[in-house]
Amino acid sequence: MSVVPTTAASAGPVLVIGSGLLGASIGLGLRHLGVEVVLRDSSPTTEAVAQDIGAGRSERAALAAGAVLPEPALVVVAAPPDVVAELVVRALTEHPDAVVLDIASVKAPVLDAVRAAGADLTRYVGTHPMAGREKSGPVAARGELFTSMPWVISPGEDTGAAAIAAARNLAVDLGATVTVMEPREHDETVALISHLPQVMSSLLASRLQDTPLHHLSLAGQGLRDTTRIAGSDPGLWVQILAANAQPVLDSLHAVRADLERLIATLERPGADGARLDIARLMAEGNAGRARIPGKHGGAPTAFATLTVAVDDTPGQIARLLTEIGEIGVNLEDMRLEHSPGQPVGLVTASVEPSRHADLVEELQTRGWKVVQ
């Protein structure tokens, strides 16, 4: 592997504990910048694979070869949530001059456990890179995994400035966007924007277990979108939900109250006020949805959509997007829909409202089937 001279703000050497998807991706990204990385994992195989893909130097292999390893300036704990606090405490003791950070997706319980162990809190900082992953393990690692993704830094009251700076440098070096947030605020935020959607998606998808397949063949994009994350790894989510139980419960209690209200209303759908009750629930959903920022920070409702029917062949979608580019319109968002067994796909594109009418007309002139 070719190593370019370091251009990273992160000073090496860096010890990465845990060489799964995220740990190995951090190692890869730092190696690309020329930073020295040592890898440690409880599984010798995982550690060796991570070294093989270029994420750093295996600590086991180096020690077996009699090498003297450098003292790390930064320790990144990228292990499963249920062992993170223990590994952070151990790293703070073993490396008394290093900054130690973790990347677990729940922050307050880790800080509480590290404090309870009497460790040096000035050198510890919790962080949470919000990078998507549908696969796990070092083979799936990519140095660019964090590109343009948010990376939350959650210092505690005792965290020192040097620790915060080290965390910030790491996130920026890996291309992420830094947000600073107090640990409990972080946990409440992810309970709402990440853990609650996961629970709702799983509760919904769970209802499909006994549905005949010919009924499910009628499913549209709505069901696909709302259940996509229900395919997530149960093992990981058990740890996340158990670690963040109270903030998740706060949201679930509110959902239960709304659900009880809706059930009571639907049990007497002809009663006075029943329709107003249903409308209110739907309108509250509208209001919440409208608050989620879109691509450039605008609300999602700020864009106009159009749907084009295209043949299901390799070049067709590319040709459509090429022509949209030729027309000079920027795509704000797009999705591909499909019906089982049909040779036609539907591409829905979101564009600036001011360009919508022109684009529809121009595409139709060029022979595209604009269906909506």
Of 118 and 132, nearer to a copy of itself (C-beta) is: 132
Q: Which is nearer to a copy of itself, 36 or 173 (CB)?
A: 173
Please report the sign of the dihedral spanned by the C-alpha atoms of residue 242, residue 246, residue 251, residue 256.
Answer: positive
3-state secondary structure of 161: helix
Which is nearer to a copy of itself, 32 or 123 (by Cβ)? 32
Nearer to a copy of itself, 15 or 84 (CB): 84
Q: Report the nearest approach of a copy of itself to the CB of residue 14 (Å).
A: 21
Q: Which residue, among 155, 157, 156, 158, has the nearest Cα to 168 in the 3D structure?
A: 155
**CB of 52 vs a copy of itself, minimal distance in Å:** 16
- Axis-axis angle for helices 234-243, 81-94 (nearest 10): 70
The DSSP call for residue 4 is P
**Contact status, residue 324 vs residue 359, Cβ threshold 8 Å:** yes
| Residue (11 or 205) nearer to a copy of itself, CB | 205
Question: Cβ 104 to a copy of itself, closest distance in Å?
Answer: 16
Q: Closest approach of Cβ 118 to a copy of itself, in Å?
A: 22
Task: Compute the least distance from the CB of residue 106 to a copy of itself, in Å.
Answer: 12
CB burial readout 130-146, b (16+ within 10 A) else e = bbebeeeebeebebebb
Which element (helix H / strand E) includes 180?
strand 177-180
Shortest separation between residue 137's beta carbon and a copy of itself, angstroms:
12
Residue closer to a copy of itself, measured from CB, 117 or 223: 223
Q: Please, where are the H alpha helices in the chain? A: 21-32, 44-52, 59-64, 81-94, 108-116, 161-173, 183-190, 196-206, 213-216, 221-227, 234-243, 245-267, 274-289, 314-327, 353-365
